Structure 1
């Protein structure tokens, strides 16, 4: 399988990979974002969980479209990590697959003052190293009209 991810941004901080979240962080080599979905009632669940919060059935990581809208955002001007240039945008993205299916992620490839609530975006995955594993960090870019 080819690796469709963008090169790593060295300053990204990743969580410890565990059984529950590993598929979310490591499945992106094909360029698609994977979110867990209930095998019985089809509810999308993020962050990853052990079982469905609605019906208790098993969850399975499945690809999503990667399209969504900025629900809300903030522009960070504080240089908390000297390796991360400011300003940068942190947003809550609502994915199109389901109302309330949301991810926190950076918005990239645009000026921070051009971001707005409701802005259509699509995922781009950045290849990172997480210990001995390769991870794919979802960031979002504006969709051109």
Structure 2
């Protein structure tokens, strides 16, 4: 499976998700949240930042169901769902991840009939990689 590629600005995001926390970078001056993480606030141009905890809950804003051919590590689990999640507390922040049936479940563990725009989800870290994954709040 793929592992996150970290950089200085995004490293804290991956450290928090590996611990089961979903945090979003925010400007230390004006408080504006931003994702993906970056060194400078696009609103006030400050270089200070903080990592704010979120509840890790949201709704499916969009999704796609990839089919082979894919990266070799993912081809055996295709088709599966990649979702774009709009966070409850920060509706302008949208995160991409896989929809799975349970923490650590296979990528293809959710049937297509259960996926819909607007469905409520919560973040769970993949036990092997720490990547944020999402499960339905109403299984």
| Range of TM-score over shorter length | 0.7 to 0.9
Structure 1: which 4+ aligned runs deviate by more than 3 Å?
none
Matched, 1:83 2:87: no
Aligned twin of 1:60: 50
Map 1:1-145; keep pairs closer than 5 Å: 11=1, 13-57=2-46, 58-84=48-74, 85-109=77-101, 110-128=110-128, 136-144=130-138
Structure 1, unmatched stretches of 5+, are: 1-10, 130-135
Shift of the alpha carbon at 1:94?
0.6
TM-score (norm 2): 0.82
Which structure 2 residue ranges, 5 or more long, are not aligned? 102-109
RMSD: 1.8
Q: How many residues align?
A: 128
TM-score (structure 1 length as normaliser): 0.79
Tell me: CA distance 1:104–1:29, structure 2 relative to 1, closer, same or farther (3 Å): closer
